[in-house]
Amino acid sequence: MVQKKPLILTALDVFAVLLLLAATGMVFFYAPLEAVMGAVQKVFYFHVAAGWVGMIGFLLALFAGVAYLKTKDMKWDIVGVAGVEIGMVFMLINIITGSIWARPIWNTWWTWDPRLTTATIMELVYAAYLMLRQGIEEPEKRARFGAVYAIIGFISVPLTFLSIRIFRTIHPVVIGGGDPGAEGSFSMTPKMMQTFMFSLAVFSVLAVDLIWHRIRLGKLSEKVEQMKLRLEQ
Amino acid sequence: MISNLIFMLMVAAIVLPVYAVLYNNFNLFNPGLLLVILLGSLGYVSVGTLLAAMTVQTRTRDILLPILLFPIVIPLVVACVKASSGFLQGWPWSDLSAWVNLLVVYDVVFTASAFMVFDYVVEE
């Protein structure tokens, strides 16, 4: 009755763990020490990678929401939840690693900078998404409203970013031009660039692995729910 | 869908006098301020109606609406506050235009998307 775990998923698990170890090794031993900021700059590789994966998760939720409203297929709902949950975890990693970096560089754990505020609001939007789902009992309606809110929520994120972008930011932009007001900017050497790209790839693999697991979990819990219904009848 | 639009306009008509009372001390006949009020309530109403239609059908409807609405309307609120204070203090247009543009963009984007997804919220 229960699906067996596919072999390729197990392989992906092992692969992701190995890659993560390799990336950690690369961050610590391959990438050179940044001249001004020193060792704390190394958090940057995983910071950006986690943010990237978080955005991918939310984007996935958006597409799943649209697909659900189009097809009314429950599997898209499961994909949407998976995207939101994984995205939230990685955004949180992004925020926490950012804090660790900001403590010595900006001399504060937290400041109401545009980037930071946007990230917080994004977490709030998706926390609200999860609470909305909690409040609805019927699976069909839950899926429908979840899809609608995932769409609306994702649209609001760039607008929020734009709204505070009009104020100036102190968050450094490493890739593609920097704001002169940014504090703690630096330019990457080739070895740093390789490490950075590698961590991006590793986190992407990790995200695919986790989302896959979450989708399987969602399918399983759907099955459990159906069985419970059958028992009650 | 037309009835939803009328409903939205009705809400806007209720909201406008409330704003007028709240801003009693200011010069109400500032055309810029009226524009901001109009754009701001349009955006707020389009998102608010959609989310309210969703939350009335949930279990924890009292708490859920503000939780859902707040993060979504933040850009609108920020732009409204900035634009109206700009109009009241007579900023030059070059400072103001970014905020007014943001208001217009927000209204267009959210009115359009709210119209697109509203059918899915009310269908039974």
Contact A195, A45 (CB under 8 A): yes
Alpha carbon distance A190, A60 (integer Å): 31
Contact B118, B4 (CB under 8 A): yes
pLDDT of A180 over the 50 cut: no
- pLDDT on residue A167: 61
List, in sequence order, every residue forming a beta bridge with A38; answer none if it has no partner.
A34
**Where is mean pLDDT largest: A110-119, A162-171, B45-54, B90-99?**
B45-54
Alpha carbon distance A77, B103 (integer Å): 32
Q: Are B71 and A148 a contacting pair at CB < 8 A?
A: no
Alpha carbon distance A80, A101 (integer Å): 31
Report phi then psi at A2, rounded to 5.
-75, 135
- ipTM score assigned to the predicted complex: 0.73
Residues in B closer than 8 angstroms to A125, CB to CB, are 71-72
Nearest to B67 among A128, A137, A144 (CB): A128
Cα-atom radius of gyration of chain A, to the nearest Å? 20
Three-class DSSP category at A33: coil
- Give buried/exposed letters for A70-98 (b at 16+ CB in 10 A, else e): eeeeeebbbbbbbbbbbbbbbbebbbebb
Task: Give me the count of residues in chain B.
Answer: 124
The percentage of residues in chain A with a pLDDT greater than 90, rounded to a whole number, is 4
List, in sequence order, every residue forming a beta bridge with A34; answer none if it has no partner.
A38
Q: Are A151 and B121 a contacting pair at CB < 8 A?
A: no
pLDDT of B25 over the 60 cut: no
Kindly state the average pLDDT of the residues A32-55: 78
Range 125-184 of A in CB contact (< 8 A) with B: 125, 128, 131-132, 134-137, 141, 144-145, 147-149, 151-153, 155-156, 159-160, 162-164, 166
Amino acid letter, B48: G
Residues in B closer than 8 angstroms to A149, CB to CB, are 51, 54, 68
The answer to whether position A20 is within a domain reads yes
The confidence band for B16, taking pLDDT boundaries of 50, 70 and 90, is low
Q: What is the mean pLDDT of chain A?
A: 80
What are the distances in angstroms from CA B28 to CA A89, A233, B37, B69, B86? 47, 63, 11, 28, 14
Nearest to A121 among B58, B74, B117 (CB): B74
- pLDDT on residue A183: 56
Decide if B67 touches A, using CB distance below 8 A: yes
Q: How far is B16 from chain A (nearest CA, A)?
A: 24
Residues in A closer than 8 angstroms to B57, CB to CB, are 136, 141, 145
Q: A90 lies in which domain range?
A: 7-30+42-171+190-228
The answer to whether position A1 is within a domain reads no
Contact B30, B89 (CB under 8 A): no
pLDDT of B30 over the 60 cut: yes
Q: Which residues contact A145 (CB under 8 A, 6 or more apart)?
A: A132, A133, A136, B54, B57, B58, B121
Q: Which residues contact A116 (CB under 8 A, 6 or more apart)?
A: A95, A98, A110, A171
CA pseudo-torsion sign A99, A100, A101, A105: positive
- pLDDT on residue A73: 84
Structural domains of chain A, count: 1
Q: Which segment of A33-47, A59-73, B83-97, B99-113 scores lowest on mean pLDDT?
A: A33-47
**Where is mean pLDDT largest: A181-185, A190-194, B65-69?**
B65-69
* Closest residue, chain A, to B101 (C-alpha): A163
The answer to whether position A73 is within a domain reads yes
Kindly state the average pLDDT of the residues B3-19: 67
Nearest to A136 among B58, B67, B74 (CB): B58
Q: Return the number of other C-beta atoms located less than 10 Å from residue A202's C-beta.
A: 24
Q: Are B59 and A137 a contacting pair at CB < 8 A?
A: yes
List, in sequence order, every residue forming a beta bridge with A52; answer none if it has no partner.
none
Q: Are B72 and A125 a contacting pair at CB < 8 A?
A: yes
The confidence band for A225, taking pLDDT boundaries of 50, 70 and 90, is confident
pLDDT of B4 over the 70 cut: no
- pLDDT on residue A11: 83
Q: Which residue has the tokens 């994702």?
A: A154
- pLDDT on residue A184: 58
pLDDT of A185 over the 70 cut: no
- pLDDT on residue B12: 65
What are the distances in angstroms from CA B45 to CA A69, B10, B11, B121? 23, 10, 7, 16
Q: Is A98 or A172 the better-scoring residue by pLDDT?
A: A98
The answer to whether position A185 is within a domain reads no
Q: Which residue has the tokens 């703690």?
A: A184
The answer to whether position A178 is within a domain reads no
The confidence band for A50, taking pLDDT boundaries of 50, 70 and 90, is confident
The confidence band for A174, taking pLDDT boundaries of 50, 70 and 90, is low
The answer to whether position A180 is within a domain reads no
Q: Which residues contact B77 (CB under 8 A, 6 or more apart)?
A: none
Alpha carbon distance A155, A153 (integer Å): 5
pLDDT tens-digit map of A69-113: 888 888 888 888 899 999 999 989 988 888 888 888 777 777 777
The confidence band for A186, taking pLDDT boundaries of 50, 70 and 90, is low
